[in-house]
Amino acid sequence: MGIAKAPSVVTMPKAETPHPSILEFLCRRFPAISQVHWEKRISEGKVLDENSQRVTLDTKYAPQRRIYYFREVDSEPAIPFAEKILFLDDHILVACKPHFLPMIPSGQYVDECLLNRLKRSTGIEALTPLHRIDRETAGIALFSVNRTSTGLYGNLFRNGLIEKTYQALSACPPNQTTASWEIANRIGKGEPWFRVKTVQGEINARSAIDLMEMKEGKARFKLRPLTGKTHQLRLHMSGLGFGILHDRYYPELQPQSEDNFDTPLQLLAQMVRFKDPLTGKTREHVSERTLLW
């Protein structure tokens, strides 16, 4: 059995009264995990509150408070692709993530994630992801190495001071010409919980998308996310009618199946550029990976 060394976190959302029990909330939030399994985790002290105190079956639901839990899986698939460290100094690590490998423990993965692989290969236990990219997406990923400067580099992402460029491939309709789009809308929760959708309200997601070239029925796009919402580029591409090749979530959710390593999602986090908050110098890191073009 794989058991995470570090806890995962989930926030209890606002809910109508009477509030559910924490056990009911966890069962609804993670339907793939049985109630018996959650009861066992709670009884073994594997579910904690924000103060690192053990949650019990009698602990009250507290909206907007966090619950920490230690993920465990009976077995996890091996991802047969290797990451590569592109840069490492006393403050940040820049890696190139392969397709199919999650950034952090999630779903059926505990040890098979980029964070734990890098901790093992570098011996740096303080590694902290500065952002997230989807498990299905390959490319540039940044980690903090030094807790004293984590906030400085994290603020670059929170304040939109990181220039990010992605590449994507899509099927190309006949007679399509090169074009550019500026997408600005609001992204909210979809169904099931791991998908998102466009909703009414204040804009919270912006992307610049350029169709660069076409050949043999495929089109290559340059994508620049100006915000960092979950699945933003995948949703914006599908909204234009250019679903990314081998996307199993958008525009339509595909039946659950094992990964096909021959058909990775054709989305690559190609480049990041930013002004280093410690040195003031402009830094650029570029992925060595390519898509199936």
* Average pLDDT of the residues in 119-140: 96
Q: How far apart are CA 291 and CA 136, in angstroms?
A: 13
Q: For the segment 149-187, what is each residue's pLDDT rounded down to a tens digit?
A: 999 999 999 999 999 999 999 999 888 899 999 999 999
30 confidence band (pLDDT: 50, 70, 90) = confident
Residue 49 CA to its chain's centroid (Å): 24
Q: For the segment 55-91, what is each residue's pLDDT rounded down to a tens digit?
A: 999 999 999 999 999 877 777 889 999 999 999 999 9
* Per-residue pLDDT at 1: 57
- Specify the amino acid at residue 187: I
270 confidence band (pLDDT: 50, 70, 90) = very high
Using CB atoms within 10 A of its CB, is residue 5 exposed (0-12), middle (13-18) or buried (19+)? exposed
- Torsion angles phi and psi, residue 55, rounded to 5: -80, 135
**277 DSSP assignment:** T
- Quick check: 276 and 110 in contact, CB under 8 A? no
Domains and CATH numbers, the chain: 2-73 (3.10.290.10), 84-160 (3.30.2350.10), 165-268 (3.30.2350.10)
Residue 32 CA to its chain's centroid (Å): 20
* Per-residue pLDDT at 174: 83
* Average pLDDT of the residues in 131-151: 96
* Average pLDDT of the residues in 15-42: 91
Put simply, whether the predicted model's pTM sits higher than 0.85 gets the answer no
- Quick check: 289 and 166 in contact, CB under 8 A? no
* Per-residue pLDDT at 33: 86
Q: How far apart are the first and last CA of the chain?
A: 39
Q: How far apart are CA 244 and CA 269, in angstroms?
A: 14
Nearest to 237 by CA among 215, 212, 211, 214: 211
Q: For the segment 228-238, what is each residue's pLDDT rounded down to a tens digit?
A: 999 999 999 99
User: What whole-number percentage of the chain has pLDDT above 90?
Assistant: 83
